[in-house]
Amino acid sequence: MPNSSPANLSKALDRLRPDVRAMHAYKVQGAVGYLKMDAMENPFSLPPALQLELGQRLGSLEINRYPGERQNDLKAALASYAGAPEGSAVLLGNGSDEIISLLALACAQPHDGARAKLLAPMPGFVMYPMSAQLQGLDFVNVSLTADFELDEPAMLAAIAEHKPAITYIAYPNNPTATLWDQGAVQRIVDAVGEQGGFVVMDEAYQPFASHSFIDRMKAEPERNAHVLLMRTLSKFGLAGVRLGYLIGPEAIVSEIDKVRPPYNVSVLNCEAAIFALEHAEVFAAQALEIRTERAKLIDALKTIPGVEKVWDSEANMVLIRVADAAKTHEGMKARKVLIKNVSTMHPLLANCLRLTVGNAADNAQMLAALQASL
Ligand SMILES: *Cc1c(COP(=O)(O)O)cnc(C)c1O
């Protein structure tokens, strides 16, 4: 390789968007040899008998054909699993990350003489601002309160001022694991509806939460006709499969579906997801165990000197505050446990670490590494 890049290479690179070149790539930490407690993955693997059966199912697929009708079976299975409201339709995404970009893409048009806006409370999921940036929407960032509750007056004021095309409510939120007050959420939903816009309820952590906004959608379908429910099978236990879905009124979903790449969900993803839903009770038992372990983990964290604060959780993660997050994160890494240092993501997250809830053995190992690293 020559030392200086060829002129054609650098001229080609100059054609890339400067904002893209200035971005940092989404970093997936190398994890071989580590206990992985950084990405809210389900710690359980499929029982061996189901592994075999899944292998046979996948092996017999027509992988020489583009995905086809089988996707409708998956949509029906997801609608029934979620208990979708009547008259709703389902859109499939290659993970909900893809759905987040499709929504931004479909809404990227000027409104009231300004760029379209996308609003979300922060700290929150990084893909919301990223989708806005990449699709040319302005991101409106409304801070949570210091205790990670929704700042309802600030949300309502921002909605009135900015008239966002899309408002995201992660329910529960990542990385704070909070499930906000349903009354406040409904009032925010109403405010968005009044000025015209979509609310996306991102329920990635629904398997671990005490309730879902879907009940409000079913109770008052007209009031919530502009609400889209986004879920994923990732935290459910299929992070490697990549399958997200959006449930909403057919009139909206059919429009968003037009910008979806037609074969975005492979026959392998599709069949694996159908298979998992056929065995939903296996995953429900795993989620129940994780919720039980979560309670024990939170109790244990509260007894550790040096853990200054432990927040309640409605997800398979727990947010804590320590004296020196960078030091603790490095110490745990040296002890072969990966967690997420979220302390530089937002001022409210100063010295905060996000721990995934694993099984009993994983949690014990994580706690020992944490204690030794404070
Ligand atoms: C993990 C997560 C998702 C899931 O993204 P996938 O692309 O479906 O894996 C979506 N929203 C939030 C808030 C998350 O934390």
Distance 232 CA to ligand 1 centre (A): 7
Distance 335 CA to ligand 1 centre (A): 27
Tens of pLDDT, residues 232-288: 999 999 999 999 999 999 999 999 999 999 999 999 999 999 999 999 999 999 999
- Asked whether the beta carbons of 111 and 276 are under 8 A apart, the reply is no
Domains of the chain: 6-48+281-373 (3.90.1150.10), 62-276 (3.40.640.10)
User: Tell me, what's the pLDDT at 2?
Assistant: 56
Tens of pLDDT, residues 28-66: 778 899 999 999 999 999 999 999 999 999 999 999 999
Distance 102 CA to ligand 1 centre (A): 14
Q: Taking CB atoms and a 6 Å cutoff, what residues make up the pocket around ligand 1? A: 40, 95-97, 125, 170, 174, 202, 204, 232, 234-235, 239, 244
Tens of pLDDT, residues 90-138: 999 999 999 999 999 999 999 999 999 999 999 999 999 999 999 999 9
Residue nearest to atom 14 of ligand 1 (CA): 204
Residue 27's pLDDT band (cuts 50, 70, 90)? confident
User: Tell me, what's the pLDDT at 304?
Assistant: 97
Distance 374 CA to ligand 1 centre (A): 29
The DSSP-derived string for 66-112 is ---THHHHHHHHHHHHHTPPTTEEEEEESSHHHHHHHHHHHH-S-BT
User: Tell me, what's the pLDDT at 30?
Assistant: 82
Please give the average per-residue pLDDT across 73-77, as a whole number.
98
Residue nearest to atom 10 of ligand 1 (CA): 204
Tens of pLDDT, residues 308-346: 999 999 999 999 999 999 999 999 999 999 999 999 999
Distance 33 CA to ligand 1 centre (A): 25
End-to-end CA distance of the chain: 45
